[in-house]
């Protein structure tokens, strides 16, 4: 939850926290084949008014998004008789009243929200991600990036807050959408100062926000009315120019491309807008299709599920997983997996050179120590290549396992790229 400064409102508590909620739209049928969604805000307003709650509402095609504020004990802010702000009922009490009065269910989280993490890790690195984070997820890789859908909300947050790689989070519930850039070592969710919120790399689309209808007529000039106006303004803030420029800077967009991004942000919340932005910044558009529900992981032949394991099995699985990127290490690993006999040829060459250098070192001389060191390194590399060949051979016989590219680079002493 995000804290609001207490100085901005008349409140007996030190801070108020944002509390989101969702009410699913019901369906009315004019005919047997014509279901029409009925806006949820119309039904919930009388209940919210009965509690005099300060809130904001945005009506989407399948659900209404609500936003309230609560004190440290979870009591929602309401308008007192004199127009000031005071604690009222809890979200659970409001949900019970709403269910009794309208039959609608109030959800503290959005049940229709689909969230996808697009992270700059290739397929061989995903088993290690699952092992290190202790999370389960399904992923598919494209061009060195991986589209990840987590088994649960806690798994998502565990990975999000511990990432050391640049990543993008796509969110959509069919009405409200967002494109959020996570920079390595920084999480925009940690931003709690409203003055700093514009610096977050987030692009947002969605239906317009309006007062939830809980305040009596003529409350606009009261502290409660002003607080509700601030809340609506905060929810309806949209995407600032600074946020657009921040995203453009992360992906090195030129002025023409930045203007295209600005046009996308200024347009409507359609099911193609996330795909358009991904195409513009050069990331796999498959992530947007999954976030919008147009594609499912279960329908992708190369999608794989990952469970947290010990480091050993994770390394082995990565070592025999074919990468999708175009870097030097990815090309090397693809060649090895397709023609593992190359490893034996390389190991044999290194072993022969190592033995020759060892003989020269034994004869002594000023360079004996250097020759001995080089010999030991070559023989060690030959042994590693032979072990890698054995692992690949076993995998090709039916026991597939994999190493993250970063570990392979360090293991074989290859350069980055």
| Residue 123 included in any domain | yes
| Residue 214 included in any domain | no
Q: For the full predicted model, state whether its pTM sits above 0.75.
A: no
Of 55, 89, 107, the last residue of a domain is 107
Mean pLDDT of 279-299: 93
Does residue 268 sit in the same domain as residue 172?
A: yes
pLDDT value at 404 more than 50:
no
Does residue 294 sit in the same domain as residue 405?
A: no
Of 299, 316, 346, the last residue of a domain is 299
Does residue 65 sit in the same domain as residue 128?
A: no
pLDDT value at 367 more than 90:
no
Does residue 73 sit in the same domain as residue 202?
A: no
> How many CA within 13 A on the CB side of residue 275?
13
Q: How many CB atoms lie within 10 A of CB 364?
A: 9
**pLDDT top residue among 192 and 167:** 167
Instruction: Note whether 141 and 278 are within 8 A (CB).
Output: no
CA distance 313 to 401: 7
pLDDT value at 335 more than 60:
no
Q: Count of domains in the chain?
A: 3
Does residue 59 sit in the same domain as residue 159?
A: no
**Relative orientation angle of helices 255-266 and 273-281, to the nearest 10 degrees:** 170
Position 203 scores a pLDDT of 93
Instruction: Note whether 169 and 156 are within 8 A (CB).
Output: no
Does residue 173 sit in the same domain as residue 146?
A: yes
Q: Which domain holds residue 59?
A: 3-107
**pLDDT top residue among 350 and 282:** 282
CA distance 141 to 296: 14
37-61 pLDDT, tens digit each? 566 778 888 898 899 999 999 888 7
Least Cα distance to 406 among 328, 335, 340 occurs for: 328
Of 107, 128, 147, the last residue of a domain is 107
Per-residue confidence band for 254, with pLDDT thresholds at 50, 70 and 90: very high
Least Cα distance to 63 among 90, 43, 84, 83 occurs for: 43
Position 391 scores a pLDDT of 52
Does residue 339 sit in the same domain as residue 290?
A: no
Does residue 127 sit in the same domain as residue 245?
A: yes
Per-residue confidence band for 219, with pLDDT thresholds at 50, 70 and 90: confident
| Residue 230 included in any domain | no
Q: Of all helices (H) and strands (E), which one includes residue 78?
A: strand 75-79
CA distance 50 to 101: 11
Kindly list the distances between the CA atom of residue 13 and the CA atoms of 68, 70, 286, 300, in Å, as whole numbers in the listed order.
15, 10, 46, 51
List, as own/partner pairs, every contact residues 286-292 make where C-beta atoms lie below 8 angstroms and the sequence separation is at least 24, other chains included: 286/140, 286/142, 286/147, 287/116, 287/118, 287/147, 287/168, 287/170, 288/170, 290/114, 290/116, 290/147, 290/149, 291/114, 291/115, 291/116, 291/170, 291/171, 291/172, 292/114, 292/172, 292/174
- CB contact burial 172-192 (16+ within 10 A = b; e otherwise): bbbbbbbbbbbeeeeebeebe
For 184, phi then psi, to 5°, come to -55, 125
CA distance 250 to 285: 18
Does residue 289 sit in the same domain as residue 168?
A: yes
| Residue 250 included in any domain | yes
| Residue 262 included in any domain | yes
**Residue 86's beta-bridge partner residues?**
78
- CB contact burial 210-227 (16+ within 10 A = b; e otherwise): ebbbbbeeebeebbbbbb
Q: What is the DSSP string of 197-232?
A: GGGS-EEEE-PPPEE-S-SPTT-TTSHHHHHHHHHH
Torsion from C-alpha of 227, 229, 232, 233, nearest 10 degrees: -110
Does residue 159 sit in the same domain as residue 282?
A: yes
Q: Of all helices (H) and strands (E), which one includes residue 139?
A: strand 137-142
Instruction: Note whether 271 and 291 are within 8 A (CB).
Output: no
| Residue 227 included in any domain | no
Instruction: Note whether 175 and 22 are within 8 A (CB).
Output: no
Q: How many CB atoms lie within 10 A of CB 338?
A: 10
| Residue 228 included in any domain | no
| Residue 304 included in any domain | no
Does residue 102 sit in the same domain as residue 119?
A: no
Does residue 132 sit in the same domain as residue 277?
A: yes
């Amino acid at each position: 939850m995000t804290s609001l400064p207490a100085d901005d409102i008349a409140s007996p508590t030190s801070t108020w926290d944002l509390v989101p909620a969702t009410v699913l739209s019901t369906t009315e049928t004019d005919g047997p084949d014509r279901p029409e969604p009925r806006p949820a805000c119309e039904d919930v307003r009388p209940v919210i008014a009965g509690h005099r709650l300060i809130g904001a509402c945005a009506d989407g095609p399948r659900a209404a998004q609500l936003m309230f504020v609560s004190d440290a004990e979870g009591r929602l802010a309401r308008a007192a008789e004199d127009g000031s702000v005071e604690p009222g009922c809890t979200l659970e009490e409001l949900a019970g009243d709403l269910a009794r009065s309208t039959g609608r269910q109030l959800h503290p989280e959005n049940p229709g929200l689909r969230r996808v993490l697009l992270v700059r890790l290739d397929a061989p690195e995903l088993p290690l991600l699952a092992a290190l984070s202790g999370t389960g997820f399904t992923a598919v890789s494209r061009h060195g990036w991986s589209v990840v859908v987590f088994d649960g909300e806690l798994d998502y947050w565990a990975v999000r807050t511990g990432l050391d790689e640049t990543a993008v989070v796509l969110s959509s519930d069919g009405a409200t959408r967002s494109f959020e850039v996570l920079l390595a070592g920084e999480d925009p969710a940690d931003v709690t100062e409203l003055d700093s919120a514009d610096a977050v790399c987030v692009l947002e689309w969605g239906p317009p926000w309006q007062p939830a209808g809980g305040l009596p007529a003529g409350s606009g000039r009261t502290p409660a009315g002003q607080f509700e106006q601030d809340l609506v303004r905060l929810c309806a803030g949209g995407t600032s120019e600074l946020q657009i420029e921040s995203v453009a800077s992360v992906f090195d967009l030129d002025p023409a491309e930045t203007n295209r991004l600005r046009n996308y942000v200024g347009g409507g919340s359609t099911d193609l807008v996330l795909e358009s932005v991904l195409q513009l910044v050069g990331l796999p558009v498959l992530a947007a299709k999954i976030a919008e529900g147009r594609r499912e992981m279960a329908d992708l032949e190369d999608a794989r599920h990952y469970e947290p394991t010990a480091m050993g099995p994770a390394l082995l699985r990565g070592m025999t997983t074919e990468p999708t990127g175009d870097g030097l290490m990815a090309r090397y690993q693809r060649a090895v997996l397709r023609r593992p006999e190359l490893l034996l040829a390389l190991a044999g060459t290194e072993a022969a050179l190592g033995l020759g250098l060892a003989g020269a070192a034994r004869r002594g001389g000023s360079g004996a120590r250097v020759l001995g060191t080089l010999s030991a390194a070559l023989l060690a590399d030959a042994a590693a290549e032979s072990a890698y060949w054995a692992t690949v051979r076993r995998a090709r016989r039916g026991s597939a396992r994999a190493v993250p590219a970063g570990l392979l680079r360090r293991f074989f002493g290859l350069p980055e790229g």
